[in-house]
Chain A
Amino acid sequence: MTSLSDLEAQVAPREALLDRLRALLVERLHLSREVDELDPDAPLFGSGFGLDSLDAVELVVCLESEFGVRVGDAIALRQVFRSLNTMTDLVLAERGQP
């Protein structure tokens, strides 16, 4: 049976990654938000944080430089860049921590 401490262990790597991604959005994409405002499932583009195609290029660069994750497939990017959580899913999967 899963315990609360098991769940907290599941959460820890995701929480750490989310914190890094939030910081990247603020520092490198100059998002005018406090990090605690960046909800993990909020839409990154369109009506959400309002990122645009230039920001998408910067996010691709960030994923590679900060996490060693390459996303060469433009089709896959559409799913990956929906939210901070979907970006986190990709990085965790690359690390073998789904």
Chain B
Amino acid sequence: MTVAAEVRALRSGAVVGAGDHLACVRVRGAGAHDLLDRVSPRELFVRSGQLLHTVLLDDAALPIADVYIGCDDDDYLVIAEGMSGPAVADYLAAHAHGLDAAIEDTSASHAFLCLGGPYAWEVLAELTTPDVIGLPYLGFFHEPRFSCFRAGKTGEYGYDLWIARDRLPAVRERLAEVGRAFDLTEISPDGLAVAALENWFWNPRRDVRPGLTPIELQLQWRVTYGRAFPGSEALAARRRKVRQRAVLAVSPAELADDAAITIGDRSVGSVLHAEWSPTREEWIALALLDRPIAHAGLAGLVAHTRAGAAPVRTLSAPAVNNRSLYVDPQRHSYATRHLETFSPLVRA
């Protein structure tokens, strides 16, 4: 199956894919909260069973991992993308001086499955119980076979299942059984990455460059200024001299990573990360533009790739009018989807 077909299945039904890009580290001990509070750029206000979405920064304030921090009774879970489990554990250990905190990377014992799509909730309800329909965004629960985090980076209903590796085959098999009624489709890491870009989720495997902090990446919502965390001083200094900002850009012609963007003969930025968008049926990119013009709604820009000059316009994120905004588990069902009229996936 092509990436385009995977993304179309994600946007209209339900998909499942290996979450090998995710790692989970458990932190135990009396100092667990203080350790996570020390490294989290965002104020660590999270109740048991909830996740906080933030990033991990290096000392230069460059985001190095996209993380959810979960409070699990007295423990904390760090679900990371962009860093391996051992690397996250090392990062935490490097900031744990003076604290009673046991840090356990679970990569060897556990794996993730990513379930997503406007009807993913219905697949999960069949796999577990209908109660899961009420699980709020950024909530999680444990059941005997796995832990389920309502998260995901596709803009659709998303559930990351954290499963002991010895139970993974049985869960996979059961998912395949219940998934038949939902045409459950396998999605690749590339498919998940394209969907994430369509929905304006920062990709820690692609959108990392020297000098790009949460300010340039429009990730300031994941930061609380005025507190101390790795990179906080560099970030505060950066705030006073921002020169560029990332915006969403589209083109009917092929775009490529690092392509220069010009207006007339003047360089005004570059493409950070480009993909073909199956949902929009055009090229889509995270573009880094000079701050005075780094806005949605621009037309007349040109990206220069090996294939030639590509006209570029910018738009408001996300690039997709997700069906999950409109699918209501109390009213809708995959089986009766043809009877419903939903807003188009792409805004005019």
**Could you list which residues of chain A lie within 8 angstroms of chain B, going by C-beta atoms?**
1-4, 6-8, 10-11, 14-15, 34, 36-43, 46-49, 75, 78-79, 82-83, 85-86, 88-89, 92, 98
Contact = CB atoms under 8 A, between A and B. Distances in A.
B248 A41 contact: yes
B293 A7 contact: yes
B296 A89 contact: yes
A37 B222 CA distance: 10
Interface in B172-208: 200
A89 B316 contact: yes
B318 interface: yes
Nearest to A3: B264
Given A41-B296, A41-B317, A49-B221, 15 more contacts: A1-B300, A2-B264, A2-B299, A4-B263, A7-B293, A10-B297, A10-B299, A37-B220, A37-B221, A37-B223, A46-B137, A47-B138, A48-B221, A79-B343, A86-B316
9 contacts: A7-B298, A10-B295, A40-B296, A47-B221, A79-B321, A79-B347, A85-B317, A88-B316, A89-B297
B53 interface: yes
B87 interface: no
A85 B316 contact: yes
In terms of DSSP, what is the predominant structure of the interface of chain B? loop
B263 A83 contact: no
Nearest to B247: A41
Contacts of B292: 8, 11
B317 A78 contact: no
A7 B300 contact: yes
A85 B325 CA distance: 18
Interface string B245-275: 1011000000000000001101010000000
Given A39-B218, A42-B221, A7 B263 contact: yes
Given A41-B296, A79-B343, A4 B225 contact: no
Contacts of B137: 46-47
A79 B343 CA distance: 10
A9 to B, nearest CB: 10
A79 B239 contact: no
Query: What are the 9 tightest A-B residue pairs by CB atom distance, in nearest-first order?
Result: A2-B300, A85-B316, A39-B218, A41-B317, A42-B221, A47-B53, A78-B325, A37-B220, A48-B221
B263 A2 contact: yes
A1 B309 CA distance: 14
B297 A98 contact: yes
Given A10-B299, A34-B225, A43-B221, A4 B264 contact: yes
A83 B295 contact: no
Interface in B288-320: 292-293, 295-301, 316-318
B297 A42 contact: no
A15 B199 CA distance: 23
Given A42-B218, A75-B343, A85-B316, A4 B266 contact: yes
